[in-house]
Amino acid sequence: MKFFLDHDVPDVAGRVLAGSGHAVTLLRQVAETTIADAEVLKMAKERGEVLVTCNRDDFLELARTEAHGGIVILIRRRSRASENGKLLALIAKAGESGIVGNINFA
């Protein structure tokens, strides 16, 4: 799968995803980190990538009115290892059909 990581997602999540064979784009690689959330969501959709963010409130609100290619809300935990484990478990359980076009929590 292809993922687009918002600026608030720890870099290690991108490395874990890439190490598991997924394509990963970091927001800061393609745009200023001050870009509006609506533009981030639009950019991810146009690129055919699932947005991964920790910004639950703003992106859930946007998803009500804006088209998207899928959003994964990464819940902050006590350790990065726990966060990444939940992210990989979600991908394994839901698969591409359960993630693309949907909103999921990891």
Number of H helices, E strands in the chain: 5, 5
Q: Is the pLDDT of residue 72 over 90?
A: yes
Q: How far is residue 61's CA from residue 43's CA, in Å, rounded to a whole number?
A: 17
Q: Which residue type sits at 102?
A: N
Q: Are 59 and 36 in contact (CB under 8 A)?
A: no
Dist. CA 33–CA 50, nearest whole Å: 17
What is the full DSSP assignment across 81-104?
Answer: HHHHHHHHHHHHHHHHHHHTTSEE
pLDDT at 33: 82
Find tokens 């484990």 and name the residue: 85
Reported as a single tens digit per residue, the pLDDT across 1-46 is: 999 999 999 999 999 999 999 999 999 999 998 999 999 999 999 9
pTM exceeds 0.85: yes
Domain ranges of the chain: 2-105
The per-residue pLDDT for 47 is 97
